Amino acid sequence: SSKDARALLALAPVIPVITIDRASDAVPLARALVRGGLRAIEITLRTDAAMDAAKTIIAEVPDAIVGLGTVLTPADLDRAKQIGAAFAVSPGCSPDLLRAAAAGDLPYVPGIQTASELMACVNAGFDVVKFFPAVPAGGIAALSSLAGPFPSVTYCPTGGIGETNAAEWLAHPKVIAVGGSWIAPPSAVNDGAWDAIESCANTASRLRSA
Ligand code: 3PG
């Protein structure tokens, strides 16, 4: 369906998770990521600058596919729709969020860590989920165990994934992409290290074929 985020997550092996302190960094950051081959990016609603950053990227970097992350309430989901975000991501799931997302048509990726949460997501019609926090929640072994009873579900593991372990996660047949802040950590963004971010994105964009 149109709210299926599968196609967006399948564009590249890695979704950069961005926490942005200054909206003025948004455009050069998004351009660096797009140049590096990562078009779908998650802007977390964790800073005051996040909404302005997302809006500016949507307006000025048409090749970027902007999703809002840290969507915690139906109101956050509405904000994503209002600014024209391409998708929304949550660290977990709640009945009211699943209901709101199911009633709308914005591609939505709820977060799960347990079988009960997976059941809630699948029953609400969502079978692409964020496994969060992936490494602390038990890593690839936990994902494999969860995947058993839910053959239709594919995962975007996020949390504790970086350059050294991303390929192992991507080798799992149920992993559509991985998310992580390592491509553009706040320190690099605050330093305006666009070339380094582009280079890291470029490496990440080739992970599947490596
Ligand atoms: C998220 O919100 O998805 C996480 O903060 C990303 O986790 P990481 O910083 O461990 O990559």
- The pLDDT tens digits for 150-201 are 999 999 999 999 999 999 999 999 999 999 999 999 999 999 999 999 999 9
Q: What is the pLDDT of residues 31-47, one digit of tens each?
A: 999 999 999 999 999 99
Q: Ligand 1 center to residue 65 CA distance, Å? A: 19
- Protein residue closest via CA to atom 9 of ligand 1: 181
Better-predicted residue by pLDDT, 55 or 209: 55
Q: Are strands 65-69 and 178-180 parallel, antiparallel or unpaired?
A: unpaired
Say how many Å lie between the CA of residue 59 and the centre of ligand 1.
25
Looking at residue 181, its pLDDT comes to 98
Within 8 A by CB and 6+ apart from 47, the residues are 19, 20, 21
> How far, rounded to the nearest angstrom, does the alpha carbon of residue 181 sit from its chain's CA centroid?
10
* Closest Cα to atom 8 of ligand 1: 159
Region class of 87: left (phi > 0), else alpha (psi between -120 and 50), else beta: beta
| Structure tokens that stand for 85 in this block | 């975000």
Between the CA of 38 and the centroid of ligand 1 the distance, in Å, is 17
Q: Band of the pLDDT at 208, cuts 50, 70, 90?
A: confident
Spatial distance between the Cα atoms of 87 and 168, rounded to a whole number of angstroms: 26
**Residues annotated catalytic, as ranges:** 42, 130
Q: Which atom of ligand 1 is nearest to the CA of 182?
A: 11
Q: Model confidence over 83-112: pLDDT tens digits?
A: 999 999 999 999 999 999 999 999 999 999
Q: How many helices (H) and strands (E) does the chain have?
A: 10, 9
Distance of CA 48 to the CA centre of its chain: 19
For residues 178 and 14, the answer to whether their CB atoms sit within 8 Å is yes
All domains in the chain, ordered by first residue? 6-209 (3.20.20.70)
Whether residue 17 has its Cβ less than 6 Å from ligand 1 = yes
The phi-psi region of residue 153 (left if phi > 0; otherwise alpha if psi is between -120 and 50; otherwise beta) is beta
Q: Work out whether strand 108-109 and strand 40-44 pair parallel, antiparallel, or are unpaired.
A: unpaired
Looking from the CA of residue 180, the nearest atom of ligand 1 is 11
What pLDDT does residue 209 have?
Answer: 65
Instruction: Give SS3 for 153.
Output: coil
Nearest CA to ligand 1 atom 7: 159
Please give the model's pTM, rounded to 2 decimal places.
Answer: 0.95
Answer yes or no: is the C-beta of 159 below 6 A from any ligand 1 atom.
yes
pLDDT at residue 1, as a whole number: 46
Q: How far is the CA of 17 from the centre of ligand 1 (A)?
A: 6
Q: Residue 210: which pLDDT band, with cuts at 50, 70 and 90?
A: low
